[in-house]
Amino acid sequence: MKIRGHFLLLKTAWRSLLYRKSAVVMAILSVAMSVYVLLGVEHIRKEARSNFTNTISGVDLIAGPRTGQINLLLYSVFRMGTPTNNISWQSFQAMVEHPNVNWAIPISLGDSHKGFRVVGTNQSFFKHFRYGSGYSLAIEEGVEFTGVMDVVLGAKVARELAYALGDKVILAHGIAKNSFALHKDRPFNVVGVLKSTGTPVDNALYVSLEGIEAIHKNWQGGVQLGKSQSPLAQQDTADLTPKSVTAAMLGLNSKLATFKVQRWINNYNKEPLIAILPGVVLVELWQMMGKIEKILMLVSSLIFVSALFGIAAMLLSSMRERKRELLILRSLGASPLMNYWLLSCEALLITLLGSLIAVVFLLSSILIVNNLFSTALGMSFSFNLWSVSNGIIFLMMIVSVFLICLIPAVKIYREIKRT
Amino acid sequence: MNNNNRASEHVMQESAILALENVIYSYPDSSTILSIDHWTLNVNDAVFLHGRSGLGKSTLISLLAGLTVPNAGTVKVKDVDLYSLSTSQRDAFRAKHIGIVYQQFNLIPYLSVLDNVLIAASLAKQYKPSTRQYACDLLAEMNLPTDVLHRSADQLSIGQQQRVAIARALINQPDLLLVDEPTSALDSENRDAFMDMLMNILRQHGGALVFVSHDKTLASRFDHVLDLASLNAVDKVS
């Protein structure tokens, strides 16, 4: 009998919603809209964060000339800002030979091509660099560079400049977009294009350290000295061993050695060096940009509050007609608490339906965005909307609905008491 | 009319279904609207309570139903002091022992006719397997054709709605039926038919009836006729 009673209460709530169809549909859509924006903003915030902190992975230490930690991270990983100094090739070799160092990726910066940075490195970059949750780099077409004058393009570079394999690329000295100091005499040959990673890797051109050395052979202090000799003839004979690199990414044999190697680099006595843990500094950097995150969270919470006001407005505006029904139920022996449950049931149904619509919409939006814009955005969104904070938001919403329903329920209770 | 009042006083006390003592009700602005020193009603009595509008008829119904708390005094139904009960106990008591029919809008418009009756049984926790059949019987007794049972209540005429309200008020076999101007929205033909059915069904099912109306032409159908003005001490003074 009890089951039948609860069933009738639910049925009454459901029928009552159907009776007020148009107002209820509007309320459901307003909840759906708010939840959609709320979850959407939260999702973008989280995905942006994880995309950011996943820019690099598997690299235990980044070593560079003594500078700010964040500065080193910015130019070595994000190719932002300018390196102030280099580390000598001897120091880099010392790192490679350190017993705890498994591999080392040299990075040599300073040149650019049409606004994109050029990175001088070696094969270990393709072999050891990781991003996201441990993905390695892959070649979309062509091969990794082998010759001195070979260049491999990041996905975005290839796309934006519409380069194909075999194209000739002339590098500019310095990083200005419209540099006049071009390495015209030594064009590079496009031999490969990397697959899109959604990280700053896409925004650069990759050449060998020897290539960097070759184009600077007759340069000094940023100025070309005289005409260069026939490139090929010289390259074959000249010593192209680099004199310096800008930074080095290190992979260690054991994570346990991280601090030991870091200390060794920081105390390196032949030149002033610094080693950073990229993961730690990435998080620090993100926290520096925390303002953006806080603004997004503020927007989210305002939307959340507006959604609750929407539900409250719907409930209160229907109260004049509801009053009669609730009085009828009271005269039939329904307790004020039961009237409250009835109102809560309805508001809850509205909230759940609205949230369901919002989630379906959001998932389809992610599907569309991932399919159409993921290459342009350089990131793709995960379909997993579940997170602890979203769970908390949802719980808070349910609790708020119950609290909001108190307002009309108490109002009705008082009015019936007074008649 | 005072005679009727006094007559019911002298009947044995234990057969009183309703007993009011020194009941006072004032609006929140402190103007007293009802003041009843003493009033009892016996089991199976049907009383016609007559009064002009605005004299607190509906408030009296609310007081008798245990919906509106009086400022002073006791209201006993079946020897239970309604206002010594907690709100939820009072709600449960009302559900089981008191049936109420209002002037208009008695039904929940979006529920079917049958569900409107059944919800009363459900709220009184009196829902048994036989309840559904009993509800159909009551509705049939009130001359409601079977094809309206599953229609939503707002599709019925006002006369039909009032009849459904009577069936619903009787579903839990209450000891006391409170009816407040049930015919005011009906034309004379419908009104007479409604009254015939009400008195008939009451005779069959038993229970005391308090019938409140300003329409004196209905008084002839009742054994007891009482003027609210003579009952209410506030009116006597003014």
Of the candidates A227, A242, A276, which is a domain's last residue?
A276
Residues A269 and A299 in one domain: no
Cβ(A140)–Cβ(A194) below 8 Å: yes
The per-residue pLDDT for A62 is: 95
Residues A239 and A98 in one domain: yes
Residue B3 in tokens: 């005679």
Max Cα–Cα distance, chain B, nearest Å:
54
CB pair distance less than 8 Å for A11 and B122: no
Give contacts of B127 with chain A, Cβ < 8 Å: 1, 4-5
Residues A260 and A221 in one domain: yes
Residues A100 and A242 in one domain: yes
CB pair distance less than 8 Å for A333 and B58: no
Q: Is residue A282 part of a domain?
A: no
Of the candidates A255, A276, A297, which is a domain's last residue?
A276
CA distance B200 to chain A (A): 23
CB pair distance less than 8 Å for A11 and B115: yes
Q: How confident is the model at residue B126 (pLDDT cuts 50, 70, 90)?
A: confident
Residues A226 and A97 in one domain: yes
Could you identify the residue written with the tokens 């307003």? A30
Give the Cα-Cα-Cα angle A69, A73, A79 (nearest 5 degrees): 145
Q: Which domain holds residue A72?
A: 61-276
Residues A311 and A250 in one domain: no
Residues A84 and A222 in one domain: yes
Least confident of A119-123, B1-5, B28-32, B137-141: B1-5
Give the Cα-Cα-Cα angle A187, A188, A194 (nearest 5 degrees): 155
The per-residue pLDDT for B10 is: 45
Q: Is residue A316 part of a domain?
A: yes
Is residue B3 scored above 80 in pLDDT? no
Residues A235 and A141 in one domain: yes
Question: What are B7-26's pLDDT values in tens digits?
Answer: 444 444 457 899 999 999 98
Q: Is residue A283 part of a domain?
A: no
CB atoms near residue B20 (< 10 Å): 22
Give contacts of A11 with chain B, Cβ < 8 Å: 111, 115
Q: A interface toward B at CB cutoff 8 Å?
A: 1-2, 4-5, 8, 11-12, 15-16, 18-19, 324-325, 328-338, 416-419
Question: Domain total for chain A?
Answer: 2
Q: Is residue A14 part of a domain?
A: yes
Q: Is residue A284 part of a domain?
A: no
- The ipTM of this complex is 0.81
CB pair distance less than 8 Å for A325 and B95: no
How far, CA to CA in Å, does A63 sit from each of A18, A48, A84, A105, A206?
A: 67, 26, 14, 10, 19
DSSP assignment of A317-371 equals HTHHHHHHHHHHHHHTT--HHHHHHHHHHHHHHHHHHHHHHHHHHHHHHHHHHHH
CB pair distance less than 8 Å for A15 and B123: no
CB pair distance less than 8 Å for B102 and A332: no
The per-residue pLDDT for A230 is: 47
More confident residue, B108 or B29: B108
A416 → closest Cβ in B67, B109, B128: B67
Instruction: Specify the 3-state DSSP secondary structure of A56.
Output: coil
More confident residue, B2 or A258: A258
Is residue B91 scored above 70 in pLDDT? yes
Mean pLDDT by 10 residues, chain A (419 residues): 62 86 86 88 83 83 92 88 88 94 93 90 93 86 91 91 91 75 85 88 92 79 55 56 92 92 94 93 83 81 81 79 84 85 87 93 91 69 83 88 88 74
The per-residue pLDDT for B156 is: 92
Q: Helix and strand tally (H, E) in chain A?
A: 14, 17
Number of cross-chain residue pairs from A and B with Cβ atoms under 8 Å apart: 84
CA distance A405 to chain B (A): 19
What is the domain partition of chain B in residue ranges?
43-66+96-237
B59 → closest Cβ in A335, A417, A419: A419
The per-residue pLDDT for A20 is: 86
CB pair distance less than 8 Å for B110 and A15: yes
The pTM assigned to this predicted structure is 0.69
Euclidean distance between CA atoms B136 and A256, whole angstroms: 81
Residues A233 and A196 in one domain: yes
State the sign of the Cα–Cα–Cα–Cα dihedral B53, B61, B4, B22: negative
The per-residue pLDDT for B208 is: 92
Of the candidates A252, A276, A300, which is a domain's last residue?
A276
- Nearest 5°: phi and psi at A184? -60, -30
CA distance B182 to chain A (A): 15
Residues A153 and A173 in one domain: yes
Residue A93 in tokens: 């070799």
- Does domain B43-66+96-237 fall under CATH 3.40.50.300? My reply is yes
Q: Is residue A71 part of a domain?
A: yes
The per-residue pLDDT for A292 is: 79
Question: What are B135-189's pLDDT values in tens digits?
Answer: 999 999 888 999 999 999 999 998 899 999 999 999 999 999 999 988 888 888 8
